[in-house]
């Protein structure tokens, strides 16, 4: 379980994250939805200590994250970056194997794990194992970013606009393969996005953010049926068809 208590982060007198608190249950998938600049990335980066909050506390399974060395903490947290964040001078195999290597897995365990993830994410190993990131398309690079985050099977996955930079067709295809991954079962996932459809597709619960604050928390239907403020109403205005389409596709 992840418990976030009253965290804030200021940059140059600007509150990027402003006194946010929430809890995410074990195995729950939550989405932070908001426009650009609403504080989503800052919030996500504070959970794995890429950014330190000015105040507040974050606990993972009852343990404060500041009591753990950042590199130890990050071994239990997969992170998918907005623009894949791959190391350009590492091969695809080396990129995916980073955390297992840090954890001291031996070769016999790493090689099949890398190959299995590449296959599940439709990256033919024979073709791409020894390739470098710049030899892959944006969609393929994002697939590698996902494989890397999952490699050591961390219990928590943080995802920053993982499909955001992709064209709509590539996005749909990467998202479909992502959703089918059996390794996601029982993982606690926090994903941030500005894409309403993505939030509906992936969230058990949505947190709508604006100006560094959580404006409303709830299931997708709550956002329409019980908007907490005029901002929420306006944000989802015109999106009802996406929601109806999503609900119909569930049946
Ligand atoms: N390192 C930084 N220095 C100064 N200001 C920053 C820094 N990082 C973020 N900010 C500011 O904090 C606010 C929140 O940024 P953040 O990146 O968290 O938003 P976001 O919702 O993730 O937006 P996007 O989807 O565009 O990435 C913005 O106003 C941004 O300009």
Give the ligand 1 atom nearest the CA of 34: 21
Exposure on the CB side of residue 206, measured as CA atoms within 13 A: 25
Ligand 1: residue whose CA is nearest its atom 2: 11
Give the ligand 1 atom nearest the CA of 44: 18
CA distances from 182 to 121, 150, 152, 185 (A): 11, 11, 14, 6
With 0-12 / 13-18 / 19 or more C-beta atoms within 10 angstroms meaning exposed / middle / buried, residue 104 is exposed
Instruction: Write the pLDDT tens digit of every residue in 180-221.
Output: 898 888 899 999 999 998 998 899 999 999 999 999 999 988
**CB under 8 A, 24+ apart: contacts of 33-37:** 33/192, 33/193, 33/194, 33/195, 33/196, 33/199, 33/206, 33/207, 33/208, 33/209, 34/192, 34/194, 34/208, 34/209, 34/210, 35/194, 35/210, 36/194
Whether residue 251 is predicted with pLDDT greater than 70 in this model: the reply is no
Average pLDDT of the chain to the nearest whole number: 92
- pLDDT number for residue 62: 92
Q: Residue 13 Cα, ligand 1 centroid: separation in angstroms?
A: 13
Q: Is the CB of 8 under 6 A from ligand 1?
A: no
Confidence of residue 20 (pLDDT cuts 50, 70, 90): very high
- pLDDT number for residue 241: 74
Ligand 1: residue whose CA is nearest its atom 6: 11
Give the ligand 1 atom nearest the CA of 42: 18
Mutate which of 17, 20, 31, 40 to test ligand 1's pocket (most atoms within 8 Å of Cβ)?
40
Q: Which residues contact 200 (CB under 8 A, 6 or more apart)?
A: 206, 220, 242, 243, 246
H or E element at residue 145: helix 138-150
Give the ligand 1 atom nearest the CA of 45: 18
Q: Residue 40 Cα, ligand 1 centroid: separation in angstroms?
A: 8
Mutate which of 16, 83, 212 to test ligand 1's pocket (most atoms within 8 Å of Cβ)?
16
With 0-12 / 13-18 / 19 or more C-beta atoms within 10 angstroms meaning exposed / middle / buried, residue 85 is middle
- pLDDT number for residue 92: 97
Query: Is residue 77 within 8 Å of residue 68, measured between CB atoms?
Result: no
Ligand 1: residue whose CA is nearest its atom 5: 11
Q: Is the CB of 218 under 6 A from ligand 1?
A: no
Query: Is residue 8 within 8 Å of residue 20, measured between CB atoms?
Result: yes
- pLDDT number for residue 183: 86
Positive or negative: CA dihedral 71, 99, 177, 132:
positive
Cβ neighbours of 34 (radius 10 Å) = 24
Tell me the percentage of the chain whose pLDDT exceeds 70. Answer: 99
Cβ neighbours of 113 (radius 10 Å) = 19
Return d(Cα 16, Cα 30) in angstroms, integer.
20
């Amino acid at each position: 379980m992840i418990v976030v208590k009253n965290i804030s982060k200021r940059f140059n007198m600007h509150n990027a994250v402003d006194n946010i608190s929430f809890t995410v249950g074990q195995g729950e998938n939550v989405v932070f939805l908001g426009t650009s600049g609403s504080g989503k990335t800052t919030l996500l980066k504070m959970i794995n200590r890429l950014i330190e909050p000015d105040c507040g506390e974050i606990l993972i399974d009852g343990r404060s994250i500041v009591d753990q060395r950042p590199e130890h903490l990050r071994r239990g947290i997969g992170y998918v970056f907005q623009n894949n964040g791959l190391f350009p001078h590492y091969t695809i195999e080396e990129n995916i194997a980073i955390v297992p290597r840090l954890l001291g897995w031996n070769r016999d365990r790493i090689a099949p794990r890398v190959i299995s993830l590449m296959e599940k994410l439709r990256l033919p190993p024979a073709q791409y194992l020894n390739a470098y990131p710049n030899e892959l398309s944006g969609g393929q690079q994002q697939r590698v970013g996902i494989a890397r985050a999952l490699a050591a099977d961390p219990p928590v996955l943080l995802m920053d606009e993982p499909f955001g930079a992709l064209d709509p067709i590539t996005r749909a295809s990467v998202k479909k393969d992502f959703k089918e991954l059996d390794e996601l079962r029982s993982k606690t996932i926090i994903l941030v996005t500005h894409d309403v459809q993505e939030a509906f597709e992936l969230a058990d619960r949505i947190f709508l953010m604006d100006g560094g604050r959580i404006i409303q928390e709830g299931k997708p239907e709550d956002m329409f049926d019980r908007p907490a403020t005029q901002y929420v109403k306006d944000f989802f205005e015109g999106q009802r068809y996406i929601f109806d389409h999503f609900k119909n596709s569930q049946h």
